Amino acid sequence: MLRIIGTVVRSAASSTRSIVTPFSSTTLVQRNISAPVQSDEPIDIPNPYEKERRECILCKHNIVPNYKNIKLLSQFQSPYTGRIYGRHITGLCKQKQEQVEKAIIRAQNCALMPTYHKDMDFFQDPRLFDPEKPVRPHKY
C-alpha cells in the first residue's frame, strides 16, 4: 500500500507544473504540491523479503524417474509396509510425485520391486526425507 501511494505522489509531484491534473482534487496530493521531492520518500524496489524460489530434489537434479531404476524408487517406499510415501513426506512437487508413484507401481507390476516391504539391499541407502517430520502437516 505504501509503495502505491509513493508512486502516485511522485507522478503527481512531477505534473504540478501543468495547470490541471486529475489528482489535484485529492487532499493527499495537495499537501505534497508545495513539498519538493525528498530523499526519504518511498522508493520502487522489488520485495526484499520475498523468499527464494524452492525446487524439489528431483527437479533440482533434473531426474526423470524410470521403473527400472529401483534403487532410486525404493527410497520413496516405507521399509515397514512398502507403502509409497505421500507428497507431504517426500517433499516433491505434484508432477514429480505422480511420476514416481507411476514408476513404482510399474516396477511392482513387473516384479522388480516388492509391494509389502522394501528391498533388503536398499536398507542402508541414504534417506532423502524424514517420515517422522513431514514437510506439511497431515491429518493422521
Partner 1 sequence: MPSYELAMVLRQMSRPELVSVLKRTAESILDKGCIIRNLENLGTRALPHKISEHGVVHREGSYFTITFDSAPTKISDFMEEFGRDIDIVRRRIFKIEEPEEFQCTLHEEMLPPAYRKDVQEMIDIAKRKQKPKFKYNSGLDYYPFQK
Using CB under 8 A, which of 80, 83, 109, 138 touches partner 1? Answer: 109
Please report the DSSP string for 27-77 in residue order. Answer: HHHHHHHSSPPPTTS------TTPPPPP--HHHHTT----TT-HHHHGGGB
CA separation for the pair 67, 40 (Å, rounded): 60
Which of the choices Zn ion, partner 1, none does residue 63 contact, using the CB cut-off of 5 to 8 A by kind? Answer: none
Decide whether 41 or 55 has the Cβ nearer to partner 1: 55
Binding segment (CB under 8 A) for partner 1, from list 8-16, 17-25, 34-42, 102-110: 102-110
Binding segment (CB under 8 A) for partner 1, from list 6-14, 27-35, 36-44, 89-97: 89-97
Please report the DSSP string for 126-139 in residue order. Answer: PPSS-TTS-SS---
Residue 57 contacts Zn ion per CB under 5 A: no
C-alpha cell at 106: 510399474
Write down the least CB distance from residue 132 to partner 1, Å. Answer: 19
Residue 84 contacts partner 1 per CB under 8 A: no
Using CB under 5 A as the binding criterion, the count of chain residues that bind Zn ion stands at 4
Residues making contact with Zn ion (CB under 5 A): 56, 59, 93, 96
Residues making contact with partner 1 (CB under 8 A): 51, 53-56, 59-60, 64, 67-68, 91-96, 99, 106, 109-116, 119, 135-136
